Structure 1
């Protein structure tokens, strides 16, 4: 447990305002929820008197003392697991997570996670709740994640995520021939009968919005780019499946494997053997918690997804060549390689 004594004087113009709201302004390095917990625990005094109700109305000009205590991540073991660090400074880490790496220990994954790796490579991060992890990627989703190296940075990053100010853009390969891009705004919540799954729910779900555009079409599949406006569990996987275009290899929402007619056997075998959702968090943009500057990172897709795209392209070319021979030079199949469409609903989404 690490602790810090924070002192301040409540401004006179705050008279009549809630104690938790005033302290959240005075000690902005900590979230309002955390401050509320400290108030309830009796760790806040006004003129030497403890107040345990977050909604207590202040009078103004009181002397406030806050004993800020942060629980260390002592229950988890530090493990020497490699981390691909894309960027690092005193406040944040940006990591390119590999597919197969679980982010946080849980049922079925007590260790061997990104959190265990962070505790090994950054000993001081033990003093930050959840070892600085502020958002997650599914086990078999690869790509960019930001991690806070201290509590103030964590607080600021969580606020950005809550305000939807962190930009996250994903590359995905879906089953089916998607005609055009668009936006899907459908609430997502826990599946009513299968607690391991998420689902689009008309009642009880949390709002979720995904913007998507078509990058490239293949015979029976489509490469898309998705920008998240919200960050619900399994959001892209659930939204794409709801639209009828589940991700290739998704073991939960993928449905039936689709092999294009007359596909070469080695190509078909690769498709059958692709056992993780074809999803990669390729772009991340945020406001630095200390400097206030906008920062952006990009990483290319991992080799397995790049090879999958090459196979689908080669299959397209082989099929076109075969049809060309069958029809003695007359090709009745229209093929437009690398189709790009604009974002269709959100004018503020940056173009590449």
Structure 2
């Protein structure tokens, strides 16, 4: 199964003197520059009836450009009837509230049973969109909001905004170990850990990563945070908070072991020890709609396990008021 693409346009005189790939990117903004370059190299582009295969070829203006190609579907993945909590859907996008334990994309150890497999069942035509329209991910045990593109055009615009860090805002709720006194910005590059290949780490040869955070609520030995991603590196919030020596509660990969305060109740201790995932939830998503340009915002309620954890922390703080001098 594949989608047939047929495009044609006359090159405006004002674009004369520019490269073929630059001109096509302006004429057909629904498709990424890398995809357009591939079409040129694969000889899918004709100018005045003559096939061109050099992206840097310059045009004069006034030429007729035509693209005839196909976009292959994601054939290796199967549709599976997996329930999705759909917060919003139209012809171009859908927004889901991902539960804990659901992997976003098939990979080693998770060949199926993922968000991608569920998307293929819910909207079969999404098979024609690369990665089934997934433009950003959440870790398996992170809950909350994700936007998915249902068309190639929508995906192209969402990815452009995400890469440009414009009109694409992701906010998270988290609970970390330790009492933080103030918010701030963490601007530390992240890359693959030198020895632990499943881990990420802060190191100078990594990719730029920026996390904004503020204190939402302080407890005796923990802090509830509100965070905003400016970049989207793998495990970014988890790695940055561990770097600050405030790993997220339950984050077994990055040191979020139970750190109870003195005189904590058995109920408190049981709740803390029983929280087996990182306390992280994608609570708010704001984007410019990829087709209409309308700014849209969604919020997902705090999941039950994080709400129960918050209630326990609040109760402990009330039962053990700290004396201020």
Aligned to 1:170: 172
Aligned to 1:157: 158
Distance of 2:249 and 2:299 partners within structure 1: 22
Contact (CA 8 Å) 2:14, 2:61: kept in 1 or not?
A: yes
> CA offsets per residue over residues 229-275 of structure 1, 9 Å max, x none?
11111111111110111000012112442121121112101111111
Structure 2 stretches of 5 or more lacking a match? none
Contact (CA 8 Å) 2:249, 2:257: kept in 1 or not?
A: no
Distance of 2:268 and 2:69 partners within structure 1: 58
Distance 1:272 1:286, change over 3 A: same
Alignment of 1:180-259 (within 5 A): 180-202=182-204, 204-259=205-260
> CA offsets per residue over residues 287-338 of structure 1, 9 Å max, x none?
0112111001111110000000001111112223xxxxxxxxxxx6149xxx
How many residue pairs match? The answer is 323
RMSD: 1.3
TM-score normalised per structure 2: 0.97
Contact (CA 8 Å) 2:250, 2:256: kept in 1 or not?
A: no
Correspondence 1:120 to 2:121: yes
Measured after TM superposition, the shift of residue 10 of structure 1 is 1.2
Partner secondary structure for residue 276 of structure 1: coil
Aligned to 2:149: 148
> CA offsets per residue over residues 209-243 of structure 1, 9 Å max, x none?
11100011111100000011111111111111101
Aligned to 2:320: 319
Aligned to 2:299: 298
Contact (CA 8 Å) 2:74, 2:128: kept in 1 or not?
A: yes
Farther off after superposition, 25-34 or 189-198: 189-198
Aligned to 1:325: none
Partner secondary structure for residue 21 of structure 2: helix
Structure 1 stretches of 5 or more lacking a match? 321-331, 336-352
Alignment of 1:1-16 (within 5 A): 1-16=2-17
Alignment of 1:49-128 (within 5 A): 49-128=50-129
TM-score normalised per structure 1: 0.89
Instruction: Could you list the structure 1 runs, at least 4 aligned residues long, displaced by more than 2 angstroms after superposition.
Output: 254-257
Contact (CA 8 Å) 2:31, 2:156: kept in 1 or not?
A: yes
> CA offsets per residue over residues 122-153 of structure 1, 9 Å max, x none?
11111111111111011110000000111111
Partner secondary structure for residue 125 of structure 1: helix
Distance of 1:299 and 1:51 partners within structure 2: 49
